[in-house]
Structure 1
Amino acid sequence: MKTNRVLTVVGLLLLGSIAYAHEFWLEPTKFLLKKNEQVLINMMVGEDYQGEHSNGHKYKILKLDHFAGTTKEDIRSKVTGDSLSRVSVSFATSGNHLIAFANSSKFIELKALKFNDYLRSEGLDNVLRLREQQGDTMKSGKERYQRCVKTLVQVAGKSDDTYALDTGMPLEIIPGSNPYSIGSTDRVTFRILFNNAPLSDGLVLAWHAKDGRTTHTKLRSNSQGEVTFPIERSGKWMISTVYMIPNVNQAESDWQSYWGSYTFGYF
Protein backbone atom coordinates (compact mmCIF):
# COMPACT_ATOMS: atom_id res chain seq x y z
CA MET A 1 0.00 0.00 0.00
CA LYS A 2 1.30 3.47 -0.82
CA THR A 3 2.27 5.72 2.04
CA ASN A 4 -0.51 8.09 3.10
CA ARG A 5 0.20 11.80 2.91
CA VAL A 6 -0.11 13.26 6.39
CA LEU A 7 -1.67 16.71 6.50
CA THR A 8 -1.40 17.34 10.20
CA VAL A 9 -0.43 15.67 13.44
CA VAL A 10 -2.89 14.94 16.18
CA GLY A 11 -4.24 18.21 17.54
CA LEU A 12 -6.91 19.64 19.79
CA LEU A 13 -10.04 21.09 18.23
CA LEU A 14 -11.80 24.24 19.36
CA LEU A 15 -15.58 24.34 19.61
CA GLY A 16 -17.07 26.73 17.08
CA SER A 17 -14.37 26.20 14.49
CA ILE A 18 -15.75 26.38 10.97
CA ALA A 19 -13.21 23.79 9.87
CA TYR A 20 -14.79 20.84 11.63
CA ALA A 21 -18.43 21.80 11.96
CA HIS A 22 -21.48 19.69 11.28
CA GLU A 23 -20.19 16.15 11.67
CA PHE A 24 -22.97 13.56 11.92
CA TRP A 25 -22.55 10.18 13.59
CA LEU A 26 -24.26 7.26 15.31
CA GLU A 27 -23.37 7.03 18.99
CA PRO A 28 -24.41 4.03 21.11
CA THR A 29 -24.54 4.62 24.86
CA LYS A 30 -22.27 1.55 25.07
CA PHE A 31 -20.19 -0.26 22.46
CA LEU A 32 -19.34 -3.43 24.40
CA LEU A 33 -22.54 -5.28 25.23
CA LYS A 34 -23.93 -8.46 26.74
CA LYS A 35 -26.47 -10.59 24.88
CA ASN A 36 -29.95 -9.03 24.95
CA GLU A 37 -28.67 -5.89 26.68
CA GLN A 38 -30.73 -2.87 25.70
CA VAL A 39 -28.76 0.02 24.22
CA LEU A 40 -29.71 3.43 22.83
CA ILE A 41 -28.13 4.43 19.54
CA ASN A 42 -28.28 8.20 19.10
CA MET A 43 -28.14 10.14 15.84
CA MET A 44 -25.80 13.01 16.66
CA VAL A 45 -24.67 16.22 14.98
CA GLY A 46 -22.02 18.64 16.19
CA GLU A 47 -18.35 19.51 16.47
CA ASP A 48 -15.29 18.06 18.17
CA TYR A 49 -17.03 14.65 18.42
CA GLN A 50 -19.47 16.33 20.82
CA GLY A 51 -22.95 17.39 19.86
CA GLU A 52 -26.67 17.07 20.21
CA HIS A 53 -29.43 14.92 18.80
CA SER A 54 -30.10 15.49 15.12
CA ASN A 55 -33.53 16.84 14.16
CA GLY A 56 -35.11 13.90 12.38
CA HIS A 57 -38.14 16.00 11.41
CA LYS A 58 -35.99 17.79 8.81
CA TYR A 59 -35.18 14.76 6.69
CA LYS A 60 -36.41 11.31 5.74
CA ILE A 61 -34.49 8.27 6.91
CA LEU A 62 -33.78 6.31 3.72
CA LYS A 63 -31.83 3.56 5.49
CA LEU A 64 -31.50 2.35 9.07
CA ASP A 65 -30.37 -1.26 8.81
CA HIS A 66 -28.98 -3.67 11.36
CA PHE A 67 -26.39 -6.11 9.98
CA ALA A 68 -25.09 -9.19 11.79
CA GLY A 69 -23.14 -11.66 9.67
CA THR A 70 -25.40 -12.57 6.73
CA THR A 71 -28.59 -11.12 8.28
CA LYS A 72 -30.04 -7.69 7.66
CA GLU A 73 -32.98 -6.01 9.41
CA ASP A 74 -34.66 -2.68 8.65
CA ILE A 75 -35.10 -0.95 12.03
CA ARG A 76 -36.52 2.40 10.92
CA SER A 77 -39.79 1.61 12.72
CA LYS A 78 -37.90 1.60 16.05
CA VAL A 79 -36.84 5.25 15.85
CA THR A 80 -38.16 7.24 18.82
CA GLY A 81 -37.72 10.52 20.71
CA ASP A 82 -39.06 14.05 20.28
CA SER A 83 -36.43 14.70 17.62
CA LEU A 84 -36.74 11.26 15.99
CA SER A 85 -33.05 10.72 16.57
CA ARG A 86 -32.61 7.61 18.66
CA VAL A 87 -33.28 3.92 18.39
CA SER A 88 -33.39 1.38 21.22
CA VAL A 89 -32.17 -2.09 20.28
CA SER A 90 -30.80 -5.27 21.79
CA PHE A 91 -28.83 -8.07 20.17
CA ALA A 92 -29.61 -11.72 20.81
CA THR A 93 -26.50 -13.13 19.16
CA SER A 94 -22.85 -12.71 20.11
CA GLY A 95 -20.45 -11.09 17.67
CA ASN A 96 -20.26 -7.77 15.86
CA HIS A 97 -23.38 -5.81 14.95
CA LEU A 98 -23.31 -2.98 12.42
CA ILE A 99 -25.93 -0.23 12.12
CA ALA A 100 -26.02 1.79 8.88
CA PHE A 101 -27.94 5.06 8.39
CA ALA A 102 -28.59 7.23 5.34
CA ASN A 103 -31.02 10.12 5.00
CA SER A 104 -32.54 12.24 2.26
CA SER A 105 -30.46 15.19 1.10
CA LYS A 106 -30.89 18.58 2.76
CA PHE A 107 -30.27 21.97 1.10
CA ILE A 108 -27.95 24.75 2.23
CA GLU A 109 -26.69 27.93 0.58
CA LEU A 110 -23.54 29.75 1.75
CA LYS A 111 -22.14 33.09 0.63
CA ALA A 112 -19.14 32.82 -1.68
CA LEU A 113 -16.28 33.43 0.75
CA LYS A 114 -17.81 31.27 3.47
CA PHE A 115 -18.39 28.49 0.95
CA ASN A 116 -14.78 28.70 -0.25
CA ASP A 117 -13.53 28.54 3.35
CA TYR A 118 -15.75 25.54 3.99
CA LEU A 119 -14.36 23.74 0.94
CA ARG A 120 -10.79 24.37 2.09
CA SER A 121 -11.50 23.21 5.63
CA GLU A 122 -13.04 19.94 4.44
CA GLY A 123 -10.26 19.28 1.93
CA LEU A 124 -12.62 19.48 -1.06
CA ASP A 125 -9.90 20.58 -3.46
CA ASN A 126 -11.74 19.10 -6.45
CA VAL A 127 -14.62 21.53 -5.97
CA LEU A 128 -12.32 24.49 -5.38
CA ARG A 129 -10.53 23.76 -8.66
CA LEU A 130 -13.80 23.53 -10.56
CA ARG A 131 -15.04 26.83 -9.11
CA GLU A 132 -11.76 28.50 -10.11
CA GLN A 133 -11.87 27.03 -13.62
CA GLN A 134 -15.47 28.19 -14.08
CA GLY A 135 -14.86 31.64 -12.58
CA ASP A 136 -17.33 30.93 -9.77
CA THR A 137 -15.22 31.71 -6.69
CA MET A 138 -17.34 34.82 -5.96
CA LYS A 139 -20.58 32.91 -6.45
CA SER A 140 -22.55 31.56 -3.49
CA GLY A 141 -22.50 27.82 -2.97
CA LYS A 142 -25.81 25.97 -3.28
CA GLU A 143 -25.43 22.47 -1.94
CA ARG A 144 -27.48 19.40 -1.10
CA TYR A 145 -25.89 17.08 1.44
CA GLN A 146 -26.58 13.52 2.53
CA ARG A 147 -25.35 11.51 5.53
CA CYS A 148 -23.98 7.96 5.10
CA VAL A 149 -22.92 6.72 8.55
CA LYS A 150 -22.26 3.49 10.44
CA THR A 151 -21.53 2.28 13.96
CA LEU A 152 -20.07 -1.04 15.10
CA VAL A 153 -20.69 -2.71 18.47
CA GLN A 154 -19.43 -5.96 19.96
CA VAL A 155 -21.66 -8.40 21.85
CA ALA A 156 -20.45 -10.98 24.40
CA GLY A 157 -16.80 -10.36 23.60
CA LYS A 158 -16.95 -12.04 20.19
CA SER A 159 -15.67 -10.58 16.92
CA ASP A 160 -16.51 -11.58 13.33
CA ASP A 161 -16.43 -10.13 9.81
CA THR A 162 -19.53 -7.94 10.08
CA TYR A 163 -17.27 -4.89 10.53
CA ALA A 164 -16.23 -5.05 6.85
CA LEU A 165 -19.68 -5.10 5.21
CA ASP A 166 -20.42 -2.77 2.33
CA THR A 167 -23.95 -1.64 3.22
CA GLY A 168 -24.75 -0.15 -0.19
CA MET A 169 -24.61 3.57 0.65
CA PRO A 170 -23.08 6.04 -1.85
CA LEU A 171 -20.18 6.76 0.54
CA GLU A 172 -18.76 3.80 2.47
CA ILE A 173 -16.01 3.63 5.09
CA ILE A 174 -14.78 0.04 5.55
CA PRO A 175 -12.09 -1.04 8.04
CA GLY A 176 -9.47 -3.42 6.71
CA SER A 177 -9.29 -5.18 10.08
CA ASN A 178 -11.66 -5.52 13.01
CA PRO A 179 -11.33 -2.61 15.47
CA TYR A 180 -12.39 -4.98 18.27
CA SER A 181 -9.58 -7.44 17.53
CA ILE A 182 -6.65 -5.06 17.93
CA GLY A 183 -4.19 -4.87 20.80
CA SER A 184 -3.78 -1.89 23.15
CA THR A 185 -2.53 0.17 20.18
CA ASP A 186 -2.50 -0.91 16.56
CA ARG A 187 -2.63 0.46 13.03
CA VAL A 188 -5.95 0.02 11.24
CA THR A 189 -6.44 0.70 7.53
CA PHE A 190 -9.78 2.13 6.37
CA ARG A 191 -10.95 2.03 2.77
CA ILE A 192 -13.15 4.81 1.39
CA LEU A 193 -15.53 3.98 -1.46
CA PHE A 194 -17.74 6.29 -3.48
CA ASN A 195 -20.32 4.54 -5.65
CA ASN A 196 -18.35 1.29 -5.15
CA ALA A 197 -15.08 2.77 -6.44
CA PRO A 198 -12.02 3.69 -4.33
CA LEU A 199 -12.01 7.38 -3.41
CA SER A 200 -8.46 8.68 -3.82
CA ASP A 201 -7.09 11.92 -2.36
CA GLY A 202 -10.03 12.26 0.01
CA LEU A 203 -9.47 14.00 3.34
CA VAL A 204 -10.18 11.49 6.13
CA LEU A 205 -10.22 12.27 9.85
CA ALA A 206 -9.78 9.95 12.83
CA TRP A 207 -11.40 11.43 15.95
CA HIS A 208 -10.59 10.08 19.41
CA ALA A 209 -12.61 11.13 22.47
CA LYS A 210 -11.19 10.08 25.84
CA ASP A 211 -11.40 11.52 29.36
CA GLY A 212 -13.31 14.59 28.18
CA ARG A 213 -10.74 15.46 25.52
CA THR A 214 -11.02 15.10 21.75
CA THR A 215 -8.07 14.82 19.39
CA HIS A 216 -7.92 14.18 15.68
CA THR A 217 -5.58 13.10 12.91
CA LYS A 218 -6.03 13.95 9.20
CA LEU A 219 -4.80 11.95 6.22
CA ARG A 220 -5.38 11.89 2.47
CA SER A 221 -6.49 8.57 1.00
CA ASN A 222 -4.14 6.90 -1.49
CA SER A 223 -5.00 5.68 -4.99
CA GLN A 224 -6.71 2.61 -3.50
CA GLY A 225 -8.90 4.82 -1.32
CA GLU A 226 -7.02 3.73 1.81
CA VAL A 227 -5.78 5.51 4.93
CA THR A 228 -4.08 3.96 7.95
CA PHE A 229 -4.45 5.37 11.46
CA PRO A 230 -2.95 4.30 14.79
CA ILE A 231 -5.90 3.22 16.97
CA GLU A 232 -5.69 3.08 20.76
CA ARG A 233 -8.03 0.64 22.49
CA SER A 234 -9.70 3.24 24.71
CA GLY A 235 -12.50 5.80 24.58
CA LYS A 236 -14.57 6.22 21.44
CA TRP A 237 -13.50 6.69 17.82
CA MET A 238 -14.98 8.16 14.67
CA ILE A 239 -13.55 7.95 11.16
CA SER A 240 -15.11 10.61 8.92
CA THR A 241 -14.86 12.03 5.42
CA VAL A 242 -16.75 14.29 3.01
CA TYR A 243 -17.00 14.08 -0.77
CA MET A 244 -18.69 16.55 -3.10
CA ILE A 245 -19.58 16.41 -6.79
CA PRO A 246 -21.51 18.66 -9.19
CA ASN A 247 -25.22 18.03 -8.78
CA VAL A 248 -26.90 16.43 -11.78
CA ASN A 249 -29.89 18.74 -11.33
CA GLN A 250 -28.30 22.20 -11.47
CA ALA A 251 -31.71 23.87 -11.03
CA GLU A 252 -31.91 22.18 -7.62
CA SER A 253 -28.38 22.99 -6.40
CA ASP A 254 -24.85 23.38 -7.75
CA TRP A 255 -23.35 20.62 -5.63
CA GLN A 256 -24.19 17.32 -3.94
CA SER A 257 -22.09 16.26 -0.96
CA TYR A 258 -21.92 13.02 1.00
CA TRP A 259 -20.81 12.93 4.64
CA GLY A 260 -19.59 9.59 5.92
CA SER A 261 -18.63 8.39 9.40
CA TYR A 262 -17.83 5.09 11.11
CA THR A 263 -17.87 4.90 14.92
CA PHE A 264 -16.67 2.29 17.41
CA GLY A 265 -15.56 2.35 21.04
CA TYR A 266 -14.20 0.46 23.99
CA PHE A 267 -16.71 0.85 26.84
Structure 2
Amino acid sequence: MRGQTRAAHACLAGLAVAFWATGALAHDFWIEPSTFRPGPGTAVAVGLRVGENFIGDPVPRTASLIDRFFVRQAGEEQAVGGADNIDPAGFLRADGRATALIGYTGGGSYIELPAERFTAYLRQYGLDGIVAERERLGESRQPGRECFYRYAKSLLAGTTADPAVTRPQGFTYEIVPDADPTVAGAGPVRGHVLFLGQPVAGAVVTAHLQGQPAVRLATHSDAQGAFSLPLPQPGVWLIRSVHMVRAGMLAHWLHHRDWESHWASLTFNWPGVRP
Protein backbone atom coordinates (compact mmCIF):
# COMPACT_ATOMS: atom_id res chain seq x y z
CA MET A 1 0.00 0.00 0.00
CA ARG A 2 3.02 2.29 0.33
CA GLY A 3 3.22 2.63 -3.45
CA GLN A 4 -0.48 3.41 -3.74
CA THR A 5 -0.21 6.14 -1.09
CA ARG A 6 2.80 7.70 -2.77
CA ALA A 7 1.13 7.50 -6.19
CA ALA A 8 -2.05 9.07 -4.81
CA HIS A 9 -0.05 12.18 -3.87
CA ALA A 10 1.44 12.19 -7.38
CA CYS A 11 -2.07 11.93 -8.81
CA LEU A 12 -3.16 15.02 -6.92
CA ALA A 13 -0.03 16.87 -8.00
CA GLY A 14 -0.78 16.00 -11.62
CA LEU A 15 -4.04 17.93 -11.79
CA ALA A 16 -2.43 20.93 -13.45
CA VAL A 17 -1.22 18.92 -16.44
CA ALA A 18 -4.35 16.85 -16.89
CA PHE A 19 -5.89 18.71 -19.76
CA TRP A 20 -2.94 18.97 -22.17
CA ALA A 21 -1.60 15.50 -21.42
CA THR A 22 -4.73 13.37 -21.69
CA GLY A 23 -3.83 12.02 -25.13
CA ALA A 24 -0.48 10.50 -24.13
CA LEU A 25 -1.13 9.51 -20.53
CA ALA A 26 -3.79 6.89 -21.20
CA HIS A 27 -1.79 4.81 -23.68
CA ASP A 28 -0.04 1.51 -23.10
CA PHE A 29 3.15 1.56 -21.05
CA TRP A 30 5.94 -1.00 -21.23
CA ILE A 31 9.63 -1.72 -20.65
CA GLU A 32 11.85 -1.97 -23.72
CA PRO A 33 15.44 -3.02 -22.94
CA SER A 34 18.24 -2.53 -25.46
CA THR A 35 18.44 -6.32 -25.79
CA PHE A 36 16.13 -9.11 -24.64
CA ARG A 37 18.89 -11.75 -24.82
CA PRO A 38 22.01 -10.31 -23.17
CA GLY A 39 25.12 -12.36 -22.61
CA PRO A 40 26.73 -12.60 -19.17
CA GLY A 41 28.04 -9.21 -18.08
CA THR A 42 26.27 -7.29 -20.85
CA ALA A 43 25.31 -3.69 -20.08
CA VAL A 44 21.60 -3.24 -20.76
CA ALA A 45 19.86 0.10 -21.24
CA VAL A 46 16.31 -0.03 -19.89
CA GLY A 47 13.86 2.14 -21.80
CA LEU A 48 10.31 3.00 -20.75
CA ARG A 49 7.80 3.47 -23.55
CA VAL A 50 4.27 4.80 -23.93
CA GLY A 51 2.14 4.36 -27.04
CA GLU A 52 -0.18 1.96 -28.81
CA ASN A 53 0.18 -1.27 -30.79
CA PHE A 54 3.73 -1.70 -29.45
CA ILE A 55 4.82 1.55 -31.11
CA GLY A 56 5.88 4.01 -28.45
CA ASP A 57 7.67 7.17 -27.47
CA PRO A 58 10.45 7.30 -24.86
CA VAL A 59 9.45 8.10 -21.29
CA PRO A 60 12.33 9.79 -19.42
CA ARG A 61 12.96 8.71 -15.87
CA THR A 62 10.88 10.68 -13.34
CA ALA A 63 11.76 9.71 -9.79
CA SER A 64 8.63 11.29 -8.31
CA LEU A 65 6.45 8.86 -10.28
CA ILE A 66 8.46 5.70 -9.54
CA ASP A 67 7.52 3.41 -6.69
CA ARG A 68 9.71 0.42 -7.64
CA PHE A 69 12.19 0.01 -10.51
CA PHE A 70 14.30 -3.11 -10.10
CA VAL A 71 15.89 -6.14 -11.69
CA ARG A 72 15.63 -9.59 -10.10
CA GLN A 73 18.37 -11.97 -11.24
CA ALA A 74 20.57 -14.67 -9.76
CA GLY A 75 18.26 -14.81 -6.76
CA GLU A 76 18.75 -11.16 -5.84
CA GLU A 77 16.84 -7.93 -6.38
CA GLN A 78 18.66 -4.72 -7.21
CA ALA A 79 17.43 -1.23 -8.02
CA VAL A 80 17.76 -0.11 -11.64
CA GLY A 81 19.85 3.04 -11.47
CA GLY A 82 19.53 6.07 -13.68
CA ALA A 83 19.30 9.85 -13.86
CA ASP A 84 16.13 11.92 -13.91
CA ASN A 85 14.84 13.38 -17.17
CA ILE A 86 16.95 10.93 -19.17
CA ASP A 87 16.07 8.25 -21.71
CA PRO A 88 16.89 5.40 -21.27
CA ALA A 89 15.38 5.46 -17.80
CA GLY A 90 17.94 3.09 -16.33
CA PHE A 91 20.91 0.79 -16.80
CA LEU A 92 21.84 -2.63 -15.46
CA ARG A 93 24.47 -5.33 -15.83
CA ALA A 94 22.95 -8.63 -16.92
CA ASP A 95 23.94 -11.79 -15.11
CA GLY A 96 23.03 -13.84 -18.15
CA ARG A 97 22.95 -17.23 -16.46
CA ALA A 98 19.17 -17.42 -15.95
CA THR A 99 16.19 -15.37 -17.01
CA ALA A 100 16.10 -11.95 -15.34
CA LEU A 101 12.99 -9.96 -14.52
CA ILE A 102 12.87 -6.17 -14.72
CA GLY A 103 9.95 -4.60 -12.84
CA TYR A 104 8.51 -1.11 -12.67
CA THR A 105 5.58 0.26 -10.68
CA GLY A 106 4.46 3.86 -10.60
CA GLY A 107 2.08 6.39 -12.02
CA GLY A 108 -0.50 8.25 -10.07
CA SER A 109 -1.27 10.56 -12.99
CA TYR A 110 -4.68 12.22 -13.30
CA ILE A 111 -6.70 12.54 -16.48
CA GLU A 112 -10.14 13.96 -17.23
CA LEU A 113 -11.91 13.29 -20.50
CA PRO A 114 -15.23 14.55 -21.90
CA ALA A 115 -18.01 11.98 -21.65
CA GLU A 116 -17.91 10.79 -25.26
CA ARG A 117 -14.13 10.46 -25.34
CA PHE A 118 -14.12 8.64 -22.01
CA THR A 119 -16.69 6.13 -23.27
CA ALA A 120 -14.69 5.59 -26.47
CA TYR A 121 -11.52 5.05 -24.43
CA LEU A 122 -13.29 2.52 -22.17
CA ARG A 123 -14.55 0.56 -25.17
CA GLN A 124 -11.12 0.66 -26.85
CA TYR A 125 -9.58 -1.12 -23.88
CA GLY A 126 -12.41 -3.58 -23.35
CA LEU A 127 -13.75 -1.92 -20.21
CA ASP A 128 -17.38 -2.45 -21.18
CA GLY A 129 -18.32 -3.20 -17.58
CA ILE A 130 -17.40 0.37 -16.63
CA VAL A 131 -19.47 1.70 -19.55
CA ALA A 132 -22.45 -0.33 -18.30
CA GLU A 133 -21.98 0.88 -14.72
CA ARG A 134 -21.87 4.51 -15.81
CA GLU A 135 -25.07 3.97 -17.79
CA ARG A 136 -26.78 2.27 -14.86
CA LEU A 137 -25.88 5.13 -12.52
CA GLY A 138 -26.80 7.86 -14.99
CA GLU A 139 -23.17 9.00 -15.39
CA SER A 140 -22.81 8.47 -19.14
CA ARG A 141 -22.95 12.19 -19.90
CA GLN A 142 -20.48 13.12 -17.16
CA PRO A 143 -16.74 13.51 -17.85
CA GLY A 144 -14.48 10.65 -16.91
CA ARG A 145 -12.09 11.50 -14.08
CA GLU A 146 -9.47 8.95 -13.18
CA CYS A 147 -6.06 8.35 -11.71
CA PHE A 148 -4.00 5.64 -13.37
CA TYR A 149 -1.13 3.46 -12.24
CA ARG A 150 1.44 1.50 -14.21
CA TYR A 151 2.92 -1.96 -13.57
CA ALA A 152 5.41 -3.18 -16.14
CA LYS A 153 7.62 -6.25 -16.39
CA SER A 154 10.21 -7.34 -18.92
CA LEU A 155 12.13 -10.61 -19.17
CA LEU A 156 15.77 -10.92 -20.21
CA ALA A 157 16.56 -14.41 -21.45
CA GLY A 158 19.50 -16.27 -19.92
CA THR A 159 21.15 -19.57 -20.66
CA THR A 160 18.52 -21.32 -18.50
CA ALA A 161 14.93 -20.64 -17.49
CA ASP A 162 14.16 -19.24 -14.05
CA PRO A 163 10.95 -20.35 -12.30
CA ALA A 164 11.05 -17.10 -10.31
CA VAL A 165 9.57 -15.22 -13.29
CA THR A 166 6.35 -17.24 -12.85
CA ARG A 167 5.78 -15.91 -9.33
CA PRO A 168 3.76 -12.77 -8.48
CA GLN A 169 5.85 -9.72 -7.64
CA GLY A 170 3.30 -8.11 -5.35
CA PHE A 171 2.18 -5.50 -7.87
CA THR A 172 -1.34 -4.14 -7.44
CA TYR A 173 -2.17 -5.43 -10.94
CA GLU A 174 0.11 -7.81 -12.78
CA ILE A 175 0.47 -10.34 -15.54
CA VAL A 176 2.11 -13.55 -14.30
CA PRO A 177 3.25 -16.12 -16.91
CA ASP A 178 2.66 -19.77 -16.08
CA ALA A 179 6.02 -20.74 -17.61
CA ASP A 180 9.13 -18.83 -18.62
CA PRO A 181 8.19 -17.52 -22.12
CA THR A 182 11.82 -16.79 -23.07
CA VAL A 183 12.36 -20.49 -23.76
CA ALA A 184 10.73 -22.48 -26.53
CA GLY A 185 7.31 -23.75 -25.50
CA ALA A 186 5.04 -26.59 -26.48
CA GLY A 187 1.96 -24.47 -27.20
CA PRO A 188 0.26 -21.16 -26.37
CA VAL A 189 1.76 -18.70 -23.91
CA ARG A 190 -0.34 -18.95 -20.76
CA GLY A 191 -0.58 -16.86 -17.62
CA HIS A 192 -2.79 -15.22 -15.01
CA VAL A 193 -3.88 -11.67 -14.24
CA LEU A 194 -4.01 -10.68 -10.57
CA PHE A 195 -5.42 -7.62 -8.81
CA LEU A 196 -4.30 -7.23 -5.19
CA GLY A 197 -3.08 -10.82 -5.41
CA GLN A 198 -6.46 -12.20 -6.48
CA PRO A 199 -7.42 -13.54 -9.93
CA VAL A 200 -9.40 -11.23 -12.20
CA ALA A 201 -12.14 -12.84 -14.27
CA GLY A 202 -13.12 -11.40 -17.63
CA ALA A 203 -10.06 -9.16 -18.04
CA VAL A 204 -9.14 -8.35 -21.62
CA VAL A 205 -5.57 -9.49 -22.33
CA THR A 206 -3.92 -8.55 -25.63
CA ALA A 207 -0.63 -9.46 -27.30
CA HIS A 208 1.26 -7.30 -29.80
CA LEU A 209 4.25 -8.24 -31.97
CA GLN A 210 7.05 -5.69 -32.22
CA GLY A 211 7.48 -4.27 -35.70
CA GLN A 212 4.16 -5.64 -36.94
CA PRO A 213 1.34 -3.49 -35.50
CA ALA A 214 -1.28 -5.38 -37.51
CA VAL A 215 -0.52 -8.55 -35.53
CA ARG A 216 -2.74 -8.41 -32.46
CA LEU A 217 -4.32 -11.17 -30.39
CA ALA A 218 -6.96 -10.66 -27.71
CA THR A 219 -8.62 -12.92 -25.16
CA HIS A 220 -10.47 -12.77 -21.83
CA SER A 221 -9.26 -14.28 -18.58
CA ASP A 222 -11.41 -17.04 -17.14
CA ALA A 223 -12.89 -17.31 -13.64
CA GLN A 224 -9.44 -18.17 -12.24
CA GLY A 225 -7.79 -15.21 -13.97
CA ALA A 226 -6.10 -17.52 -16.48
CA PHE A 227 -5.52 -16.66 -20.12
CA SER A 228 -4.00 -18.39 -23.14
CA LEU A 229 -2.50 -16.69 -26.20
CA PRO A 230 -1.46 -18.81 -29.21
CA LEU A 231 1.30 -16.53 -30.46
CA PRO A 232 1.61 -17.05 -34.23
CA GLN A 233 5.37 -16.49 -34.62
CA PRO A 234 8.60 -15.90 -32.71
CA GLY A 235 9.65 -12.36 -31.87
CA VAL A 236 9.47 -9.66 -29.24
CA TRP A 237 5.98 -9.55 -27.74
CA LEU A 238 4.05 -7.19 -25.52
CA ILE A 239 1.21 -8.59 -23.43
CA ARG A 240 -0.93 -6.00 -21.69
CA SER A 241 -4.15 -5.64 -19.71
CA VAL A 242 -6.09 -2.83 -18.04
CA HIS A 243 -8.23 -3.09 -14.91
CA MET A 244 -10.41 -0.24 -13.67
CA VAL A 245 -12.19 0.14 -10.33
CA ARG A 246 -14.27 2.89 -8.80
CA ALA A 247 -12.26 5.20 -6.58
CA GLY A 248 -13.09 5.22 -2.89
CA MET A 249 -15.38 7.83 -1.41
CA LEU A 250 -12.49 9.74 0.14
CA ALA A 251 -10.67 9.95 -3.19
CA HIS A 252 -13.90 11.07 -4.84
CA TRP A 253 -14.57 13.92 -2.43
CA LEU A 254 -11.03 15.08 -1.70
CA HIS A 255 -9.26 14.50 -5.01
CA HIS A 256 -12.22 14.73 -7.42
CA ARG A 257 -11.58 11.45 -9.18
CA ASP A 258 -14.16 8.75 -9.84
CA TRP A 259 -12.03 5.89 -11.16
CA GLU A 260 -8.66 4.25 -10.75
CA SER A 261 -7.17 2.35 -13.67
CA HIS A 262 -4.32 -0.13 -13.40
CA TRP A 263 -2.18 -0.90 -16.45
CA ALA A 264 -0.11 -4.08 -16.54
CA SER A 265 2.36 -5.12 -19.24
CA LEU A 266 4.89 -7.86 -19.91
CA THR A 267 7.53 -7.80 -22.67
CA PHE A 268 9.81 -10.67 -23.74
CA ASN A 269 11.45 -12.33 -26.72
CA TRP A 270 9.57 -15.54 -27.51
CA PRO A 271 11.63 -18.11 -29.48
CA GLY A 272 8.57 -19.99 -30.66
CA VAL A 273 7.09 -23.45 -30.23
CA ARG A 274 9.54 -26.20 -29.34
CA PRO A 275 10.02 -28.56 -32.34
TM-score (norm 1): 0.85
Tell me if the contact between 1:69 and 1:161 (Cα under 8 Å) persists in the aligned partners: no
> Structure 1 residue 266: deviation in Å?
5.0
Counterpart residue number, 2:192: 191
Give me the whole-angstrom Cα distance separating, in 2, the residues matched to 1:88 and 1:266. Answer: 23
Tell me if the contact between 1:112 and 1:137 (Cα under 8 Å) persists in the aligned partners: yes
Counterpart residue number, 1:67: 72
Counterpart residue number, 1:152: 155
Give me the whole-angstrom Cα distance separating, in 2, the residues matched to 1:55 and 1:37. Answer: 22
- Deviations, residues 88-112 of structure 1 (Å, cap 9, x unaligned): 1112351010011011310000000
Structure 2 residue 261 is matched with structure 1 residue 260: no
Counterpart residue number, 2:206: 205
Tell me if the contact between 1:150 and 1:262 (Cα under 8 Å) persists in the aligned partners: yes
> Structure 1 residue 169: deviation in Å?
0.8
> Which stretches in structure 2 are left out of the alignment for 5+ residues?
1-22
AA aligned to 2:93 is S
Aligned residues: 243
Give me the whole-angstrom Cα distance separating, in 2, the residues matched to 1:228 and 1:96. Answer: 21
Q: Report the RMSD for the aligned CA atoms in angstroms.
A: 2.1
Counterpart residue number, 2:238: 238
Structure 1 pair 28/198, CA: closer, same or farther in 2 (3 Å)? same
SS at the partner of 2:252?
Answer: coil
List structure 1 segments (4+ residues) > 3 angstroms apart after TM superposition: 55-59, 80-85
Counterpart residue number, 2:9: none
Q: What fraction of aligned residue pairs are identical, expressed as a percent?
A: 26
Counterpart residue number, 1:227: 227
Q: Which moved more, 1:191-200 or 1:61-70?
A: 61-70
Give me the whole-angstrom Cα distance separating, in 2, the residues matched to 1:67 and 1:247. Answer: 32
> Which stretches in structure 1 are left out of the alignment for 5+ residues?
1-17
Structure 1 pair 145/85, CA: closer, same or farther in 2 (3 Å)? farther
Question: Quick one: which of 107, 111, 116 aligns to 1:108?
Answer: 111
Give me the whole-angstrom Cα distance separating, in 1, the residues matched to 2:94 and 2:147. Answer: 35
In the TM superposition, what are the counterparts of 1:43-58 in structure 2 within 5 Å?
A: 43-57=48-62
Q: Which moved more, 1:229-238 or 1:245-254?
A: 229-238
